[in-house]
Structure 1
Amino acid sequence: MADEIQLVVFTLKQGDVVCEYGVPITQVQEIIPMTTPTKLPQTPDFVEGIINLRGKIIPIIDLKKRFAMGTSEITSETRSVVVEVEGQTVGIIVDEVSEVLRLPVSSIEPPPAVIGGITAEYLKGVGKLGDRLLILLDMDKILTEHEKKELAEVKE
């Protein structure tokens, strides 16, 4: 099935605007209800803190803050999507996880230079599914090398 990819689709809302994002299911470890993370001093602004996930300490990142879209409002729909970012386990806060779907590779366009403040470096492309557009994120590039080092230090 190399001609399609399986994605976990989630939304980030900014006012009345709802954007749909997709992450390859191979990078997603699990999806958990949002819990209040323990705050840590001297971490990047978008790092909300850490949680204990079955004995493993993982940093929690507010994806909206990372993309300069404001701050996530925690609701009953808010989830932490636990992903692997270059060998590090990280939780990302999203407004809602909507579905898991298969997207034909032929439906993926290269990313434009900038989409709503998100630079192309974070993007794998834009998936077209009927009249929907899915912004495909490259989780390995969502953090800079410096930020990855900071998160590794947070866990220790």
Structure 2
Amino acid sequence: MKAMTPIAKSLLTVAGSQNQEEQQQYLTFMLRSETYAISILSIKEIIQHSQLTEVPRMPDFILGVINLRGAVVPVIDLSARFGKRAIQVGRRNCIIIVEVNTGEESQNVGVMVDAVNAVLEIPAHEIEPAPSFGSNIRADFIAGMGKINGKFVIILNIQYVLSMDDMAALVGAGYTSAVELKPVE
């Protein structure tokens, strides 16, 4: 077997790093028998469903808040956020803690889902653009459609789904502002 020259080694290293950059990891989860995915770069942690404190006069998609190591974290029912029937809480439900950028700051938000599946790598060439029609959620919520084992998975643009400005507008002037949704430090 021939020894590799330094140039060949460096080309393989560059090719390998480009391959790694092309593939991103996504957490897949179930919501109303559909599979969705979120880039793991936005996810802080996954916790089991825990006791929620309801906040009066909130819209249906805000389930309440949890105490996460001393921080107040709002929890969103993703199904209700998509305009569907609310999640029926069971023992498989999980809360995915996601970091959402709000201008110069970031905000932790919990997303209630039916069940978490797995972390998968999806090559960039296996991700199609978001469809302009036919989806049962808003087009700006979709970052793309990933192909996994011949099936499509909806990759969410979590920054749009959990936009604090958008949710504050939905809450309305008579309820609470986005500032009140920020965790207490």
Shift of residue 133 of structure 1? Answer: 1.2
- Structure 1 position 152 matched with structure 2 position 179: yes
Q: 1:134 maps to what in 2?
A: 153
Greater gyration radius: 2
Letter aligned with residue 101 of structure 1: L
Larger proportion of helix: 2
Q: How does 1:2-151 map to 2 (within 5 A)?
A: 2-13=21-32, 18-86=33-101, 87-144=106-163, 145-147=165-167, 150-151=177-178
SS at the partner of 1:124?
strand
Work out which structure has the larger RCO, using CA pairs closer than 8 Å and 6 or more positions apart in sequence.
1
Considering only aligned residues, what root-mean-square deviation do their CA atoms show, in Å? 1.6
SS at the partner of 2:159?
helix
Q: Number of aligned residue pairs: give it.
A: 152
In the aligned structure 2, how far is the partner of 1:71 from the partner of 1:26? 27
**For the Cα contact (< 8 Å) 1:113–1:119, is it kept in 2?**
no
Question: Higher mean Cα deviation, 70-79 or 145-154?
Answer: 145-154
Structure 2 residue ranges without an equivalent (≥5): 1-19, 170-176
Identity across the alignment (%): 34
**TM-score by structure 2 length?**
0.77
Question: Higher mean Cα deviation, 107-116 or 53-62?
Answer: 107-116
Q: Which runs of 4+ in 1 moved over 6 A?
A: none
**TM-score by structure 1 length?**
0.90
Larger proportion of strand: 1
**Residues 1:67 and 1:125: Cα distance change in structure 2 (over 3 Å):** same
Letter aligned with residue 59 of structure 1: P
Structure 1 residue ranges without an equivalent (≥5): none
Question: Higher mean Cα deviation, 55-64 or 136-145?
Answer: 136-145
